[in-house]
Amino acid sequence: IMRCPDAAVAAQMVERVDAARRSLDSLGGIVEVRARAVPPGLGEPVFDKLQADIGKAMFSIPAIKGVEMGEGFGVAQMRGSENNDPFVRRDDGSIGTTSNHHGGILGGISTGEEITVRLAAKPPASIAQRQQTVDRAGNPSDIEIHGRHDPTVLPRLVPIAEAMLALVLADHLLRQRMARVEF
């Protein structure tokens, strides 16, 4: 139900969401989506960077407040020697990296490694608890929202984020193919 690959963690998630629902509250969270077998060379080094287009697409999804790729904010705590992803020739003759801190994108261009994107989603604001606000004149007031309340958007966010990533990658793949067409 939570679209979590770890059954034990999924059960804990369900418990937390149920507790939030019972207390008339909501929860945010983090969703990770990955794309495998992405060909190297998608994207551009300046204006049409792959990670910029992925970020723009992900930020267009309601409730998204943060996007990170690869190690994301974790790179701020690393040294260059730890963060760099050395290129090597693999046993099958292909070129790859020994690690994937870059999340499959370097310099705005896909490397052929798995693309990893994490999204931070805010908790739904429409909760059944009484909340403070102001009226049209700016005077203190309370608001109570009645009706259906989702305690979290995370389970529905997973297929949306997967589809959005697939759309951006398909767009870049088509751009790359069109660049090779002779008119």
Q: Does 1 map to a domain?
A: no
23 inside domain: yes
CB 119 within 8 Å of CB 30? yes
We report the CATH number of the domain holding residue 106 as 3.60.150.10
Q: Does some domain include residue 183?
A: no
pTM above 0.85, yes or no: yes
Q: Which residues are paired to 46 by β-bridges?
A: none
With respect to residue 113, please indicate whether it lies within any of the assigned structural domains: yes
Count up the domains in the chain and report the number. 1
* pLDDT reported for residue 26: 94
Quick check: is 85 in a domain? yes
In sequence order, the 6+-apart residues with CB closer than 8 A to the CB of 160 are 61
Q: Which domain holds residue 84?
A: 7-178
Residue at 46 is within a domain? yes
Q: Please give the pLDDT value at position 99.
A: 95
From the first residue on, what is the mean pLDDT of each consecutive set of 10 residues in the chain (183 residues)?
A: 92 95 94 96 92 98 97 94 94 93 95 97 92 95 85 94 98 90 76
What per-residue string of b and e applies to 25-37 under the rule 16 or more CB within 10 Å gives b?
ebbebebebebee
Q: Is residue 118 part of a domain?
A: yes
Burial of 151 per CB tally in 10 Å (0-12, 13-18, 19+): buried
Is residue 87, in this structure, part of any structural domain at all?
yes
Q: What was the pLDDT predicted at 160?
A: 97
> What's residue 140's pLDDT?
96
- Confirm if 5 and 159 have CB atoms less than 8 A apart: no
What was the pLDDT predicted at 144?
87
